[in-house]
Amino acid sequence: MPLNTQNIVILAIESSCDETSAAVIYNGKMLSNIVASQIIHEQYGGVVPELASRAHQQDIVRVVNAAIVESKIQKTDLSAIAFTRGPGLLGSLLVGTSFAKAFALGLDIPLIEINHMEAHVLAHFIDEPKPNFPFLCLTVSGGHTQIVLVKSPLDMEVLGETADDAVGEAFDKGAKMLGLGYPGGPKIDQHAALGNPGAFEFPIPEMPGYSFSFSGVKTSLLYFIQKHGQEFVTERLNDICASYQQTLITTLVRKIRKAAKELKIKEIAIAGGVSANKGLRKALQIEAEKQRWSLYIPDFQYCTDNAGMIAIAAHFKYIEKEFSHQQVSPMPRFQI
Ligand code: KG4
Ligand code: ZN
C-alpha cells in the first residue's frame, strides 16, 4: 500500500449517533465539513437507534460526495480514510465503519479508526487559537461528561466522568419533561437566555473527586413540575429553564475549577455538544478571567457531532502511522 508522505489528505466519516457527516482535511487544513442532521427523531422525542442507522445508510453517499466536491480534491488524492469506531450506537457506527472500510479497500489506502470523544477534544486543533499541552478539557455531550487531561494529541487521560447521566442527557430529558421537544439542549438554552437563573433552586450534586452525577437534578425537576403543575410551568418556563440550566452549569464549573487548581493547569478547554450552550460559554469566560485561565471554546460547527473533528484526529494518527486493520469492527463503548 503506497503511503502518501508529501501531502496528507484524509476523508473522515462520522456516524456515531444522529448526524451523518463527512469532511476532507489537507495537511491539517479543513477543506470541507458536511453535516446532515436526522430530523426524523424529533417526532419521537429522542434518537431511535434503528431509524438512525437507516438514515445514515440513506445519507452517507450523498454526504461523502458533497464533502469531496466541496474540497475540490480527487478521490485519487486521498492518503487515508478515517471513521468513528465508537463510542456510539452500534447500528449507526456500522454504517460509517463499513463505508470507510470499503472506500479504503477500493483505493488501496490506509484506514484510520478514531475515538469519538478524543475527536471532540482534538476539534481544538482545527482553528486558532490552539491550546498548549498539557491542558484540561471539559468534554460535555449527549452521552458523556468528562474531565480529560490532554498530554499530547494522542495521549489523553480521563480524570473523572459521570456516574449516571451525561449533562447533555440532563438537558434533553429536562426539556422533554418541560414539553420542549428534542434535541432539548438548544431549546433550554434559548428559554434560559430570557429567564432569571436565581428564580428557583435545584440541588447541586456532591460527588467525590472529578466525578459527576446528573440523575438527581433531573429527578428534582420532575418533582418540581409535578408539584407546581402545567399552568405554572408554562407561565414561568423561561425562569425554570434558566434555573435548571444554571444548576447544570454550576456543577460543571465547580469541577473544572477544582481540577485546574489541583493540577495547577491554566490551559482550559471545553468540547462536545453541550459546549454550544451560551450560558456555559459565558460562565466559563467569567471563571477564566477570575482564575487567569487561557480558555479555549470551539467554533459552534465543531461543538456538536461533525466529521471535521474526526479528520483532525486522523491527521495526527496518520503522522504517527497509526492505521487500522480491514477486520476492524465498531466499538459502541470505546473508552479514551
Ligand atoms: O456531541 P454531541 O453533538 O453528540 C454526542 O456525542 O452526544 O452532543 C449532543 C448533546 C445533546 O444532548 C444536545 O442537547 C446538547 O449536546 N446540546 C446542547 C446545546 N446544543 C447541543 N446543550 C445545551 N445547550 C446547547 N446550546
Ligand atoms: Zn459527540
At a CB cut-off of 8 Å and minimum separation 6, what does 305 contact? Answer: 14, 16, 17, 18, 19, 21, 35, 116, 273
Q: What is residue 294's three-state secondary structure?
A: strand
2 has a pLDDT exceeding 70: no
Q: Is residue 165 part of a domain?
A: yes
pLDDT in tens, 179-237: 998 889 999 999 999 999 999 999 998 999 999 999 999 999 999 999 999 999 999 99
Q: What residues does the ion ligand 2 have nearby, CB within 5 Å?
A: 141, 305
Report which residue type is found at 76.
T
The answer to whether residues 161 and 292 belong to one domain is yes
The answer to whether residues 202 and 89 belong to one domain is no
Grid coordinates of 328: 476492524
Q: For a ligand 1 pocket test, name from 16, 33, 274, 280 the mutation site with the most ligand atoms within 8 angstroms of its C-beta.
A: 274
State if residue 272 touches ligand 1 by the CB under 6 angstroms criterion. yes
C-alpha distance from residue 6 to each of 26, 77, 79, 133 (Å): 11, 11, 10, 27
DSSP code for 13: E
The 3-state DSSP composition of the chain as helix, strand, coil percent (nearest 5) reads 50, 20, 30
1 has a pLDDT exceeding 70: no
Grid coordinates of 223: 418533582
The strand pair at 267-271 and 155-161 is best described as: unpaired
pLDDT of residue 5: 60
Cα dihedral 117, 120, 125, 127, rounded to 10, equals: 170
The answer to whether residues 239 and 285 belong to one domain is yes
Look up cell 463505508; give the residue. 99
pLDDT in tens, 260-291: 999 999 999 999 999 999 999 999 999 999 99
How sure is the predictor about 4, in pLDDT bands with cuts at 50, 70 and 90? low
pTM: 0.95
How sure is the predictor about 46, in pLDDT bands with cuts at 50, 70 and 90? confident
Asked if residue 27 lies in contact with residue 7, where contact means CB atoms within 8 angstroms, the answer is yes
Q: Is residue 84 part of a domain?
A: yes
What stretches of 224-304 adopt beta strand conformation (E)?
267-271, 294-296
- Closest ligand by atom to 142 CA: 1
The answer to whether residues 112 and 232 belong to one domain is no
Asked if residue 135 lies in contact with residue 182, where contact means CB atoms within 8 angstroms, the answer is no
Which CATH number is 48's domain given? 3.30.420.40
The answer to whether residues 149 and 245 belong to one domain is yes
The answer to whether residues 72 and 22 belong to one domain is yes
Q: Is residue 328 part of a domain?
A: no
3 has a pLDDT exceeding 70: no
Grid coordinates of 321: 502511522
Nearest CA to ligand 1 atom 11: 142
- Closest ligand by atom to 303 CA: 1
State if residue 141 touches ligand 1 by the CB under 6 angstroms criterion. yes
Which one, of 101, 134, 140, 96, lies nearest residue 117 by Cα?
140
pLDDT of residue 126: 98
Alpha carbon 84 to chain centroid, angstroms: 12
Cα dihedral 97, 56, 44, 91, rounded to 10, equals: -30
pLDDT of residue 84: 98
Q: How far is the CA of 99 from the centre of ligand 1 (A)?
A: 25
State if residue 14 touches ligand 1 by the CB under 6 angstroms criterion. no
Containing structural domain, residue 107? 9-122+303-319
The answer to whether residues 249 and 308 belong to one domain is no
Q: Is residue 333 part of a domain?
A: no
At a CB cut-off of 8 Å and minimum separation 6, what does 319 contact? Answer: 8
The strand pair at 267-271 and 135-140 is best described as: parallel
Which run of H or of E encompasses 309? helix 307-319
Q: How far is the CA of 141 from the centre of ligand 2 (A)?
A: 6
Look up cell 465498531; give the residue. 330
The answer to whether residues 117 and 141 belong to one domain is no
State if residue 172 touches ligand 1 by the CB under 6 angstroms criterion. yes
Q: Mean pLDDT score of the chain, rounded to an integer?
A: 96
State if residue 279 touches ligand 1 by the CB under 6 angstroms criterion. no
The answer to whether residues 63 and 141 belong to one domain is no
The answer to whether residues 179 and 59 belong to one domain is no
Backbone angles phi, psi at 146, to 5 degrees: -135, 150
Distance CA 207, CA 251 (A): 10
98 has a pLDDT exceeding 70: yes
Q: What share of the chain has pLDDT > 90, as a percent?
A: 94
For residues 24-29, average pLDDT: 98
State if residue 304 touches ligand 1 by the CB under 6 angstroms criterion. yes
Distance CA 276, CA 317 (A): 27
C-alpha angle 130-133-139 in degrees, rounded to nearest 5? 70
**Tally of structural domains, the chain:** 2
Q: Is residue 336 part of a domain?
A: no
Q: What is residue 15's three-state secondary structure?
A: coil
335 has a pLDDT exceeding 80: yes
Grid coordinates of 42: 424529533
Asked if residue 113 lies in contact with residue 119, where contact means CB atoms within 8 angstroms, the answer is no
Q: Is residue 324 part of a domain?
A: no
How sure is the predictor about 42, in pLDDT bands with cuts at 50, 70 and 90? confident
Q: What share of the chain has pLDDT > 70, as a percent?
A: 99
pLDDT in tens, 118-157: 999 999 999 999 999 999 999 999 999 999 999 999 999 9
pLDDT of residue 182: 85
The answer to whether residues 102 and 139 belong to one domain is no
State if residue 97 touches ligand 1 by the CB under 6 angstroms criterion. no
